[in-house]
Amino acid sequence: QCKLELVVGSPASCMDLELFSAEEEPLGRLDRDEALLGSYPVADGCRVHVIDRSGARIGEYEDVSQVEKYEMTDSDYEKRPESLRSFLRQQGLGRFDAEAARRRAAEQEQRRAQEEAMAAALPPGTRCQVRVPGQPCKLATVMYVGTCQTDFKPGYWVGVRYDEPLGKHDG
């Protein structure tokens, strides 16, 4: 039963075990704690059925709205000397790593400058080909180049008008 705890998630003290044959015929209960599995009529294809008496099947552990939550204010958490935040601050890791933050900011600025340079090379009115993996190549005209305020991807954008009525907005 103890070995089954990790598999079924029920404590051994709350388990009743039944043995079934490959044909789903009941072969008996596995109720002797000191007995080895080989002392029962086990054969290939047999199934051990676990009956959970812990109360989990009733649903008392499924509705987490009934569990009282402990919440700590951010200021109280800041005062704790043995917290993850305190450890990260002491070690200079994560958001407390000033050097890594400077490197990320420099890399981001470099990417922005590269995007700006590539966008400048595509003035509106330029003819282009749009290649999307798994789709045929489409001919288009560049209509917009610049930054857009989007929630999902900031940076420079290139808007095109397809020669044919294709795409999300009919071309």
Q: What is the pLDDT of residues 19-67, one digit of tens each?
A: 999 899 999 898 887 888 888 888 889 998 988 887 655 566 677 777 7
Instruction: Give the per-residue pLDDT at 30.
Output: 87
Instruction: Give the per-residue pLDDT at 8.
Output: 80
Instruction: Give the per-residue pLDDT at 112.
Output: 87
Name the DSSP letter for residue 145.
E
105 and 80 both lie in a single domain: yes
Three-state SS across 48-77?
A: EEEEECCCHHHCCCCCHHHCCCCCCCHHHH
42 and 89 both lie in a single domain: no
Instruction: Give the per-residue pLDDT at 169.
Output: 64
Instruction: Give the per-residue pLDDT at 124.
Output: 92
Instruction: Give the per-residue pLDDT at 170.
Output: 60
Instruction: Give the per-residue pLDDT at 106.
Output: 94
Domain of 2? 1-66
106 and 126 both lie in a single domain: no
Number of C-beta neighbours around residue 107 at 10 A: 10
112 and 134 both lie in a single domain: no
Residues 101 and 98: their CA atoms lie apart, in Å, by 5
Count of structural domains, the chain:
3
Query: Which ranges of the chain have pLDDT less than 70?
Result: 55-61, 167, 169-171
